[in-house]
Structure 1
Amino acid sequence: MQRGLRSFIIIWIGQFASLFGSALTRFAITVWIYQKTGSATALTTGGFFAMAPTFLLLPIGGALADRLDRKKVMIAADLTGGLCTVFMLSLYLNGNLQIWHIYLTNVILSAVEAFQYPAFTAATAMIVPKEHFARVSGMRDLAGNASRIFAPLLAGALLAILDLSQFMIIDLITLSIALLTLTMVAIPKPTQTEESKRAQANLLQDVTYGFKFIWKRPSLVILQSILLTLNFLYTMGNMLIPAMILSRTNNNELILGSVQAVMSAGALAGGLLISIWGGSKRKIKTVLMAQVLTAIVGRVWFGLGYDTLSWLLPSFFVFFFIPISNGSTAAIWLAKTPPDVQGRVFATRRFAAQFCLPLSALLAGPLAERVFEPAMMPGGALASLFGNVLHTGVGAGISLMMLLSGIIGAAVSLLVYVIPLVWRVDEILPDHIAEPSSLIPEKTVDSDVGVKAPEGAASPAD
């Protein structure tokens, strides 16, 4: 096994441990909020606070990732996340934990991710050879999605015997494991390229550099615009899935955990597939195929469900194709961007594809509770049109939102096949050949890699 891949696997083991603990705690907090409030808006508001700071700070985080020691940036990010967990734990043990405390913690963690994400992503190109970029991206997705297979099922069962504080303690233990694996890995710092030398400036100019880099490449601009549209549509449904299932199953946490576990199993299978396969030679072909199938086989089919049996099979495909798309998208960007400016460019790339997510999360709850849910109650404005397919009553309006997002998403994805600038992006933009750590003598290697990559496949498209 090449040394770069071996180093990445060590990090991957730590990520899996930490993300598993985080997934347990996140599930327990989601149930705690819904049982305390009974409100879909309360859940989606939490999602807004968990996303908005990330996208506001991403350009700054990317600029600093190219200026500072990336390893130290990610250690600081993980330690800050641990302190947030300790903060909530102390409040809960004293009987003082409130919803707004969780919102505040989400804001801090979201801000931290704006620095952690570009630092980790930029470090990846310095660990592994170019031919493994798509596979490594798939492995990063596996770190998050393997935890989602078992965590919802386990958390749903453990909620009968454990309280929220015990989930938080597990989260802190698994974070310690991830930090330990960091000490076992070293990678080189990137060699400064001509592209980077031309971009050298003050911090403000560094922040805008990523936008300029992408704007000069119309193929990437259009690709990110498409992903932005799809992310806006799909985030609404993703934020409302727990509320839909809990409302239609009389707050049955085990059913929610089972459906989420099947979704995560699909994401895991998709991540495993792209890790082994690596995608087609023309990566954009894999990206667009995966997005079309996500819309039709995943979103539309799942939206048609109305009970446990009708959710389980389609739920597997809700996230199955996402890591396939994300892995191939990451391979395109890693190949086209010089390593020493990847922090800035990748931060801007994520901002360009996902900056609408906080708005989508903020709108999801009110749209569900004030528009779609009333319209799908017996006698509602849309009940006669969709009631025979989706049934009526609580949760039916959210099902309709999921169905419509899939139909529109399929239309947007199919349009791409007639846009040559996107369809031929692999040929239009030249590759930048990076020198991976596996090809560099050991004595030149410097420790510069982080832990706990951002969660992948169940996350929005990159």
Structure 2
Amino acid sequence: MIKLKTLFKELHSFLILWSTQSFSALGSSMTSFSLIIWSYQQQGSALTTALLSVCSYAPYVIMSIFAGALSDKWSKKVTMLVSDSFAALCTVAILLLLQTGRLEIWHLYFLNALNGLMNTVQQPAADVTISLLTPKKHYQKISGMRSFSNSIVSILTPIIATTLLTLINIQAVIVFDLVTFAVAFFTLMCFVKIPKLQDESSKNETVLQSARAGLWYLKENRGILDLILFLAVINLIASVYNAAFPAMILSREGGGDVALGIVNAVTGVALLAGSIIISVLPEPKSRVGMICNTLLVSMSTENFFLAFGRSIPIWCIGAALGWICIPIMNANMDVLFRNHIPISMQGRVFSARNTLQFFTIPIGYFLGGFLVDKIFEPLMASLPNENFLISIFGSGKGSGAAFLFFIIAIMGIITCLSFRKDPHIWELEN
């Protein structure tokens, strides 16, 4: 009990911020989930749906390298409040367009791009805030807690969103999102005190000089740079997966929006299990080894189950095996970054990391949607029923996406085994 009280005292501000921001993330995730279903039902195109994420990530990636400089100079609290408020205004715009029957797919592209632009300054501010509010000895614990909340969001998002969509409408989902924003906004504004970061080295730097400082740090720390590049390739593969996944589940025989919700919920349960595991595990002897091994397990399981599976239970098994390791990987990666990068540099370095690590995400989403719509689905539709690919991946809409999952499974395994041999990444163990 004494240890629990001490822990609560040391993490008091973090716990308040974490719980309310997680609640807001649930609302945002529900809106995104509902809009993916809405857009696919409107267009029936994997590429059209994938472009929603492309529009979110493209400005985020392009501007992130400069945003860290601004984040290091500006108040962390004000930056987060303004960014969250802007996102809420975009959500209100979607609600109004829905209410008047004027919502079109290009509206979502435009609003997602604006949101992505604001996230460029919000994300590094939030990352540095976590470091400011948390003693170093609790880094692994709070990484596990953040994974835990993300898991809960993943579990509840399809359940609550599908329920509201079925019983009421998509507008109800968006209203819930706005309520969660209001709770998080006023809590952050009134009850969370974020210590000021005194960094004289960046005080008089221009934006370009600060961006260059972040890149220079990565150049001088090759292990961190190579780990970021490793994750960039993984993000490319994962984004192709994310673009193809809803298209396959929604169009496959035995699939549909309920199936999508069930598999997403199982993904959330797997993430929850992984979060609990990392929260109770002692520090590993090799964080780099843990990152490589967990990613290898993830890449070599779920994609194969999606490629060869034809039913919800098989897809769910794949989701469980593929996602249970992700919180363990994320926590070890997070601790490595926070321990190696000085807090005074984290805003600039995290922003440079965001550009390098996440630039492959919009490419992957676009590539995944294009490959499904233009290459793999037409290819499978053109094959005769006796073709061996039909016997392996099935026929009809969704079989092309299944074939694609087989390809990205092979790519994921090759990537993990290749970067595992990188000596610079292993130097981070020292």
TM-score (structure 2 length as normaliser): 0.93
The residue identity in structure 2 corresponding to 1:418 is K
8 Å CA contact retained: 1:237, 1:398: no
8 Å CA contact retained: 1:40, 1:369: yes
The residue identity in structure 2 corresponding to 1:70 is K
Q: How far apart are the structure 1 equivalents of 2:358 and 2:44? A: 28
Of 213-222 and 199-208, the range deviating more from structure 2: 199-208
Of 21-30 and 72-81, the range deviating more from structure 2: 21-30
Q: Which residue of 2 aligns with 1:368?
A: 372
Among candidates 33, 37, 40, match of residue 31 of structure 1: 37
Q: How far apart are the structure 2 equivalents of 1:402 and 1:5? A: 41
Q: How far apart are the structure 2 equivalents of 1:206 and 1:84? A: 30
8 Å CA contact retained: 2:54, 2:362: yes
Identity %: 28
Moved over 4 A (4+): none
**Residues 257 and 80 (structure 1 numbering): CA distance in 2 closer, same or farther, change over 3 Å?**
same
Q: How far apart are the structure 2 equivalents of 1:188 and 1:159? A: 41
| 1:142 CA displacement | 2.5
8 Å CA contact retained: 1:210, 1:344: yes
Among candidates 297, 306, 309, match of residue 313 of structure 2: 309
Structure 1 residue matching 2:167: 3-state secondary structure:
coil
Q: How far apart are the structure 1 equivalents of 2:384 and 2:67? A: 47
Q: How far apart are the structure 2 equivalents of 1:276 and 1:303? A: 33
Among candidates 154, 168, 171, match of residue 177 of structure 2: 171
1:413-456 residue CA offsets vs partner (Å, 9 max, x unmatched): 122332222123121xxxxxxxxxxxxxxxxxxxxxxxxxxxxx
Q: Which structure has more RCO (C-alpha within 8 Å, separation ≥ 6)?
A: 1
The residue identity in structure 2 corresponding to 1:324 is I
Q: Which residue of 1 aligns with 2:3?
A: none
**Residues 207 and 380 (structure 1 numbering): CA distance in 2 closer, same or farther, change over 3 Å?**
farther
Q: How far apart are the structure 2 equivalents of 1:386 and 1:139? A: 43
Q: Which residue of 2 aligns with 1:401?
A: 404
Q: Which residue of 2 aligns with 1:125?
A: 131
Q: How far apart are the structure 2 equivalents of 1:284 and 1:321? A: 14
Q: Which residue of 1 aligns with 2:122?
A: 116
1:16 lines up with 2:19 in the alignment: no
The residue identity in structure 1 corresponding to 2:120 is A
1:418 lines up with 2:421 in the alignment: yes
8 Å CA contact retained: 2:30, 2:177: yes
Q: How far apart are the structure 2 equivalents of 1:273 and 1:7? A: 24
Q: How far apart are the structure 1 equivalents of 2:77 and 2:270? A: 32
1:63 lines up with 2:69 in the alignment: yes
| 1:199 CA displacement | 8.8
The residue identity in structure 1 corresponding to 2:138 is H
1:185 lines up with 2:192 in the alignment: yes
User: Where do 1:349-388 residues align within 5 Å?
Assistant: 349-377=353-381, 379=383, 384-388=387-391
Q: Which residue of 1 aligns with 2:295?
A: 291
1:76 lines up with 2:79 in the alignment: no
Give the number of the structure whose residues are more often helix, by fraction: 2
8 Å CA contact retained: 1:74, 1:120: yes
8 Å CA contact retained: 1:249, 1:255: no
Q: How far apart are the structure 2 equivalents of 1:66 and 1:380? A: 59
User: Where do 1:250-265 residues align within 5 Å?
Assistant: 252-265=256-269
| 1:228 CA displacement | 1.1
Q: Which residue of 2 aligns with 1:142?
A: 148
| 1:249 CA displacement | 4.0
Q: Which residue of 1 aligns with 2:393?
A: 390
1:105 lines up with 2:111 in the alignment: yes
Alignment length (residue pairs): 423
**Residues 97 and 215 (structure 1 numbering): CA distance in 2 closer, same or farther, change over 3 Å?**
same
